[in-house]
Structure 1
Amino acid sequence: MGKNPKKILIIDDEAVFREAMTRALTSCGYRCVPEEDPAKGIMRLKREPYDLVLLDIMMDPVDGWDTLAHLRTFSNGRETPVIMASAKKLNIDEVIRYGEYLAGFVEKPFVDTEFCDAIDEFFDWYDPLIANANAARLQGVSPDICTSWIRVGRQIKAITQMLEYVNPSCIPDESMSEDECMDRRMAQVREILERKRRERDNIKILYPVFSI
């Protein structure tokens, strides 16, 4: 990580996982700030910048999805990448509802080295994306377009990754079977991804400086 290691905020109400993530990431060179209380984690992010937030889903009394929604209401929270970490499988409705607000998903429990590898791989992908946007800004591309470029790339990666961890079932209503329900939800996800890819491709066409 060099002289300026990445700073990661960990929000998890279970001490065993909070400590395990901190231990693993510290051992591979990251600076970790663990926080048990989601409200305190939110306040930390309001006060100071972080390179990444690792957020648990199953927390009480405020779960990870509600915490994510709150994070996205202020500037640091909107642009800081958030990776959800959970022992539960995702359901397809969570992908549809929250995928656009995330940067990825990691499954618990984990092997320390594999967890480090997952976070390393994220930054190996994300840092060039940020560098590309910064270069575009220096060449006169508007900050709003640069932010959109970062955001849409992050969204495509997150939604695609989340699909690897989806529980292959769906709660149907009386008009459809479980399989039909899942097929319909998957069609919604494919539509979201197609829309996001079109947005990314349109930015590249209008601003050839974007290359990642």
Structure 2
Amino acid sequence: MYTILVVDDSPFIVDVFVTMLERGGYRTVAAYGGEECLGILKTVTPDLILLDIMMEPMDGWETLEKIKENPATKDIPVLMLTAKQLTPTEAEEYGIFIEDYVLKPITHRELYDAIEHVLGRRQTIRSDMDRARQSGVDFDVVNEYALLSKSIDVNKRLMKILETTYNFNDSKVRISDDISRALKNMDTNIKFQEARLQQIKGELAGRIQ
């Protein structure tokens, strides 16, 4: 059974998601703010953290940074679960640290699917890494494969959110040059990462049976 840490400064919201998660068969831990989240992580290591952004006094992004700068907690996957619309700047700055970005309100099924996607991707990448290491593949290559596999998936999901938020594909909607440039840069970066990942997969193909 997976343990999920739910972090939000609204007790009502925490209770709603705890109930949803427990109904779905997950074990839950509740934190009513960033500081409490960091305190709980000193003694509890959840399989996943659901983290809100609009919290006080420590918001979700600051909480995320503290989680990721701590060697003891940096590998815990964090899924942002928030009502705040994602911005290109946030996607660029924090995309490397998060596993997904899900907007409230959300249905039971959407929440379960998001969690299972994150945990399933994590397990698949770990299995691929284990096979590569057992086949004698260079440590740095294995790590790059893992980082790219996660990064591409996360960035594609963030890109989709941004395109929907800013109606990027609607020719009738004018978006600012800064936002347009940021989205195009993200798309270019994703394509570059995909090309490099395919190159690594080609190198690994002959080594892993």
TM range (shorter): 0.7 to 0.9
SS, match of residue 33 in structure 1:
strand
What TM-score do you get using the length of structure 2 for normalisation? 0.82
| 1:9 partner amino acid | L
Contact 1:129–1:150, Cα closer than 8 Å, also in 2:
yes
Q: Distance in 2 between matches of 1:75 and 1:146?
A: 20
Aligned partner of 1:91 in structure 2 is 87
SS, match of residue 9 in structure 2:
coil
After superposition, the C-alpha distances for 1:160-208 in whole angstroms (9 at most, x for unaligned) are: 1122322318xxxxxxx95322221112212332343244334323333
- 5+ residue gaps, structure 2, are 168-173
Shift of 1:27: 1.1
Q: Distance in 2 between matches of 1:150 and 1:124?
A: 14
Aligned partner of 1:168 in structure 2 is 166
What TM-score do you get using the length of structure 1 for normalisation? 0.81
Aligned partner of 2:187 in structure 1 is 190
Within 5 Å, give how 1:37-186 maps onto structure 2: 37-141=33-137, 145-166=141-162, 167-168=165-166, 178-186=175-183
Larger relative contact order (CA 8 Å, sep ≥ 6) = 1
Aligned partner of 2:170 in structure 1 is none
Pick the aligned partner of 2:204 from 197, 203, 207.
Answer: 207
Q: Distance in 2 between matches of 1:160 and 1:56?
A: 21
Aligned partner of 1:17 in structure 2 is 13
Shift of 1:79: 1.8
Contact 2:7–2:34, Cα closer than 8 Å, also in 1:
yes
Coordinate RMSD, CA, aligned = 2.6
Shift of 1:110: 1.6
Contact 1:71–1:77, Cα closer than 8 Å, also in 2:
yes
Contact 2:129–2:146, Cα closer than 8 Å, also in 1:
yes
| 2:38 partner amino acid | I
Q: Distance in 1 between matches of 2:77 and 2:3?
A: 12
Change (3 A) 1:77 1:202: farther
Contact 1:102–1:154, Cα closer than 8 Å, also in 2:
no
Change (3 A) 1:132 1:110: same
- 5+ residue gaps, structure 1, are 170-176
Contact 2:133–2:139, Cα closer than 8 Å, also in 1:
yes
SS, match of residue 25 in structure 2:
coil
| 2:159 partner amino acid | L
Identity rate, percent: 25
Contact 2:52–2:82, Cα closer than 8 Å, also in 1:
yes
Contact 1:49–1:76, Cα closer than 8 Å, also in 2:
no
Aligned partner of 1:173 in structure 2 is none
Q: Distance in 1 between matches of 2:7 and 2:54?
A: 11
SS, match of residue 72 in structure 1:
helix
